[in-house]
Amino acid sequence: MDPINSLETEDNFEEKCAVSLPPSSLPYVPPTLREGELYHVFISYSSTDYRWTHSLINQLESYGLQVCYHERDFVPGRTNMSECIQESQKVLLVLSPEFVRSRWCLLEANMSLFRNCLERKPMLPVLLEPGLAVPLHLCHLTYLDARDPDFISKVLKVTIVSLCL
């Protein structure tokens, strides 16, 4: 099944889920990748959230972040999920109804939680829809609301070093 064609088809989808850049007058610099790190952010999401997530990926990469996601970065013959999470500074979880129903998404979330406990590497849960029943083992995390007008600025604040601070 083509993930683009399986998306929500509401007329206001783009308006509801748009990701917009913060003012360009703010210079941001990606953090230095440490030894063993290949990515700034690993993004875990359901394929049904493809359009919104890839809009976010494009925004993050426009700021020079190295973003890891499965369609592009998983290599045949590797234990990709655990290796890519390990090789990333942070994990961003795109929480949606489809995410919480997907055992693969929840496995990525669980692996990220475990890594967070061991190495204190942060997770960034993003809530796509209000009122989503977040799984109990994730509800203790502070999440970002994708509908927040300052959403992308908040994501950048926790993933990039601002030169304006």
pLDDT tens, position by position, 123-160: 899 999 988 988 888 888 889 999 999 999 899 888 87
pLDDT at 82 (0 to 100): 81
Q: What is the pLDDT of residues 68-109, one digit of tens each?
A: 987 787 677 766 778 888 889 999 999 999 999 999 899 889
Q: Kindly tell me if the per-residue pLDDT of 12 is higher than 70.
A: no
User: In which element (H, E) is residue 91 found?
Assistant: strand 88-95
- Phi first, then psi, for residue 67 (nearest 5°) are -110, 135
Spell out the domain ranges in the chain.
33-162
Which amino acid is present at 55? S
- In 3D, which of 105, 81, 111, 80 has the Cα closest to residue 93? 105
Averaged pLDDT for residues 110-119:
77
Share the mean pLDDT of the chain.
Answer: 79
User: Any residues with CB less than 8 A from the CB of 132 and at least 6 apart, and which?
Assistant: 95, 96, 97, 100
> In the structure encoding, which two tokens stand for residue 147, read together?
């509908």
Distance CA 69, CA 65 (A): 13
Domain 33-162 CATH class label:
alpha beta
